[in-house]
Amino acid sequence: MAKPPKANSPITEHLAYLLAQANREINRQLEMRLSKEGVPVEQWRILKVLSDGNGHSMGELADAVLLNHPTLTKMVDRMVSDALVYRVQDPKDRRKVLMFVSDRGKALSKRLNSLAVSQEEHIVENYGDKSTNELKRLLESLIDSSN
Amino acid sequence: MAKPPKANSPITEHLAYLLAQANREINRQLEMRLSKEGVPVEQWRILKVLSDGNGHSMGELADAVLLNHPTLTKMVDRMVSDALVYRVQDPKDRRKVLMFVSDRGKALSKRLNSLAVSQEEHIVENYGDKSTNELKRLLESLIDSSN
DNA sequence: TGGAAAATATTGAATATTCAACAATTGAAG
DNA sequence: CTTCAATTGTTGAATATTCAATATTTTCCA
């Protein structure tokens, strides 16, 4: 009854492939929307995570926004130049750096969130309410089961 | 009843984020398995698609393996060096190049497929038969609805 | 306590990807 | 037919990512 793909079955039957394909497509759509603000998807994630107002260490942030540490460091460098975020040394643990969002970053984050929400509304329109929620539920549980 | 995330809801409620996260995790697992053969995930895809024995043009192949054209060109260059695949000019349309898999490539493809299938079996064990199939179904239909 | 090991973030070199321009071929319209 | 636009694939420069090494601070434990 369980059917992982056979060795000779098409690649489109592999979960890993379907995930990559769906992610690529949805990400591209989001990227196009966010390009209105000239910002890559990763910066939306960073600003959104930081928008809880709390300081987040680089490591914590890297996990949350799905980036490797060095990649995040360099992207944050750019965002600091653009005055969207700033670094503060963590007084409790001076190895750590706490990231905060600036007012300018908050304002941009709001505009980006509108674009992201409107994308998801667009998906829900075409794909359906039920499917969307069910897919989200399954993805969450896949992620949980992978830890 | 439809609930796209609100502007202030956590990023983990966005479909785009959940897809990226799940894809990242599953892809990393697959990458680790394939590292036994010293091959990146994209080469597994290329070999698998070409393993139908037919010639595939670069454009066709790029779509199928989820790579941009220049990236594919350069990866194929490496695979040609490794004697895994080879190029043939399409006689019907001399703008095109048809890609074929070599015997060496076929042999490698078999080994890679075993690794990929075993990964998916492992997922099915933890995540369940029903969830896996349901997730695949939903991903396919999301992809369809996005064209 | 003292010193080795672990954790955290950054850096620089090596590698990979992307963007824009190009070359070659085909299709299509006058 | 002939010329102009569209398609296909590659290239080189610019950009981004990754890997390994480093610096700093903290934790552990002998």
Contacts with A78 (C-beta within 8 Å, 6 or more apart), sequence order: none
Residue A135 Cα, gap to closest chain B Cα (Å): 6
- Cβ–Cβ gap A7/B136 under 8 Å: no
Mean confidence (pLDDT) of chain B? 95
| Burial class, A115, CB count within 10 angstroms (exposed 0-12 / middle 13-18 / buried 19+) | middle
Beta carbons of A16 and B26 less than 8 Å apart:
yes
Look at residue A97 and tell me if it is in a domain: yes
Tell me the HSE value of A63 on the side-chain side, using a 13 A CA sphere: 4
Q: What is the pLDDT of residue A3?
A: 65
Q: In a mutagenesis test of the B interface, which of A17, A44, A46 is the best target, namely the one with the most B β-carbons within 10 Å? A: A17
B-chain residue closest to A42, CA distance: B17
Residue B56 C-alpha, separation from nearest chain A C-alpha, in angstroms? 15
Among A87, A89, A88, A83, which Cα is nearest to A102's?
Answer: A83
CB-CB contact of B69 with B59 (8 Å)? yes
pLDDT of residue A2: 57
Can you tell me which residue has the tokens 């992201």? A116
Distance B13 CA to C3 C1' (A): 47
Q: If you write DSSP's letter for every residue of chain A in order, what string do you get?
A: ---PPPTTS-GGG-HHHHHHHHHHHHHHHHHHHHGGGT--HHHHHHHHHHTTSS-EEHHHHHHHHT--HHHHHHHHHHHHHTTSEEEEE-SS-TT-EEEEE-HHHHHHHHHHHHHHHHHHHHHHHHH-HHHHHHHHHHHHHHHHHT-
How many Å lie between the alpha carbon of B77 and the closest alpha carbon of chain A?
22
C-alpha distances out from residue A3 to A58, B22, B122, B146, Å: 41, 20, 12, 26
Q: Is residue B52 part of a domain?
A: yes
Q: How many domains does chain A have?
A: 1
Q: Helices A103-127 and A129-145 sit at what angle, rounded to 10 degrees? A: 120
pLDDT digits (tens, 9 = 90+) for A41-96: 999 999 999 999 999 999 999 999 999 999 999 999 999 999 999 999 999 999 99
How far apart (Å, rounded) are the C-alpha atoms in residues B135 and A142? 9
**B136 lies in some domain:** yes
Tell me the percentage of chain B whose pLDDT exceeds 90.
93
Q: What is the spatial distance, in angstroms and rounded to an integer, between the CA atom of A29 and the C1' atom of D3?
A: 38
Contacts of B86 (CB under 8 A, 6+ apart): B80, B99, B100, B102
The strand D neighbours among B residues 52-71, by Cβ under 7 Å, are 57-60, 69-70
Q: Which residue is nearest to nucleotide C8 (CA to C1')?
A: A95
Residue B60 lies in a domain: yes
Q: What is the pLDDT of residue A9?
A: 87
Lowest mean pLDDT among B4-8, B43-47, B65-69, B135-139: B4-8
Q: Residue B133 belongs to what domain range?
A: 33-145
H or E element, residue B99: strand B97-101
> Which positions of strand D lie within 7 Å of protein CB atoms?
7-12, 16-20, 24-27
Query: Is A115 contained in some domain?
Result: yes
Query: Looking at the partner chain, which of B12, B26, B49 has a beta carbon nearest the beta carbon of A11?
Result: B49
Residue B100 lies in a domain: yes
A136's tokens: 């989200």
Q: What is the CATH number of the domain that holds A95?
A: 1.10.10.10
Minimum-distance CB partner of B7 among A11, A117, A126: A117
